[in-house]
Amino acid sequence: MDRELEKLLERARKIVMTPEQEEEQRRSFAFGNLHFEDPTVTREMIDAAAETLEAEKVAHGRRK
């Protein structure tokens, strides 16, 4: 493997994301996968679904 790539990978392994960054990454992943399968899926749809799921967790006392 290229030495520069190895350095970058090592740096990436040490990064700790905030909960907000993790949520944004989760939503981005969901959008990318769903939009690939169905181009009509929008980021707004993903955001709405994520907000609904979070509200349900809070309502049932299962917050992160």
Q: Which pLDDT does position 64 carry in this prediction?
A: 55
User: Which amino acid appears at position 26 of this protein?
Assistant: R
* CB neighbour list of residue 57: distance below 8 Å, 6 or more residues apart: 63, 64
Q: How confident is the model over 2-54, as pLDDT tens digits?
A: 999 999 999 999 999 999 999 999 999 999 999 999 999 999 999 999 999 99
Residue 55 token pair: 């509200």
> Domain locations in the chain?
18-64
Q: Which pLDDT does position 60 carry in this prediction?
A: 87
User: Which amino acid appears at position 60 of this protein?
Assistant: H
- Helices 19-37 and 43-59, interaxial angle, to 10°? 130
Residue 46 token pair: 């993903």
- Greater pLDDT, 63 or 47: 47
